[in-house]
């Protein structure tokens, strides 16, 4: 469908940083740029708002969320509260198959380049997916689908902040952070794994509050 194509292009453009934080998303301009009707663009914008990638402003149209938006810190607070507890359950309950899947997911993540040639500072789609799978796999040993659904919702809501944080903290050692998560989880050290995950999430939030 045409609306699906426009939605995908708009979502990808926001993720790439083509629309700056806080920038207005004007339906008329987007319709003209993409050669589609205003109705199609508005439908796409409503979906993007539902993904947490844009805001619908009363009497002011649509806009990309700002760096200073409180939601990013609220999402981080929720993740730091919930995910280490789910990881503890995963460490306690995960079986040998879970261990194998964690190793495989970490191997894929560590071998996937975070940036593609020609795309500059923008995280690649392949790395972003490998990143999601690794974090999801770490937690899915908990065996609780309700907790995993909560993780999925929070992950989607924080994806834009994660992309921005990567651009604002290019020197961060993601490889070491993820390796520590894998090692502590598979060593069945729930305390160390939880601490590593909390620090990992905190560094992402800190990149958005750093004014440098």
CB 94 within 8 A of CB 182: no
The residue that leads in pLDDT, 128 or 59, is 128
Give tens-digit pLDDT for 68-95.
Answer: 778 888 999 999 999 999 999 999 999 9
Cβ neighbours of residue 134 closer than 8 Å, sequence gap 6 or more: 102, 105, 106, 108, 109, 178
Tell me the whole-structure pTM to 2 decimals.
0.82
Helix (H), strand (E) at residue 68: none
CB 3 within 8 A of CB 42: no
Give tens-digit pLDDT for 30-41.
Answer: 999 999 999 999
The closest of 154, 158, 110, 170 to 134, measured between CA atoms, is 110
Q: From CA 125, how far away is CA 127, in angstroms rounded?
A: 6
CB 54 within 8 A of CB 62: yes
């Amino acid at each position: 469908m045409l609306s699906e194509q426009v939605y995908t292009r708009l979502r990808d453009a926001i993720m790439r940083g083509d629309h700056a934080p806080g920038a207005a998303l004007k339906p008329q301009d987007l319709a003209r740029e993409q050669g589609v009707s205003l109705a199609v663009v508005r439908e796409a914008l409503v979906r993007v708002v539902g993904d947490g990638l844009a805001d619908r402003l009363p009497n002011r149209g649509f806009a990309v969320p700002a760096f200073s938006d409180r939601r990013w810190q609220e999402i981080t607070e929720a993740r730091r509260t919930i995910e280490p507890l789910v990881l503890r359950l995963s460490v306690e309950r995960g079986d040998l198959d879970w261990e194998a899947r964690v190793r495989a997911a970490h191997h894929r993540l560590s071998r996937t380049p975070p940036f593609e040639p020609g795309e500059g500072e923008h995280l690649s789609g392949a790395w972003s997916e490998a990143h999601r799978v690794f974090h999801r796999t770490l937690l899915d040993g908990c065996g609780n689908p309700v907790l995993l659904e909560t993780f999925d919702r929070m992950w989607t809501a924080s994806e834009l902040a994660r992309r921005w944080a990567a651009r604002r903290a290019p020197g961060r050692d993601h490889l070491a952070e993820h390796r520590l998560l894998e090692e502590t989880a598979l060593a069945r050290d729930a305390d160390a794994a939880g601490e590593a995950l909390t620090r990992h999430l905190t560094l992402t939030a800190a990149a958005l509050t750093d004014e440098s």
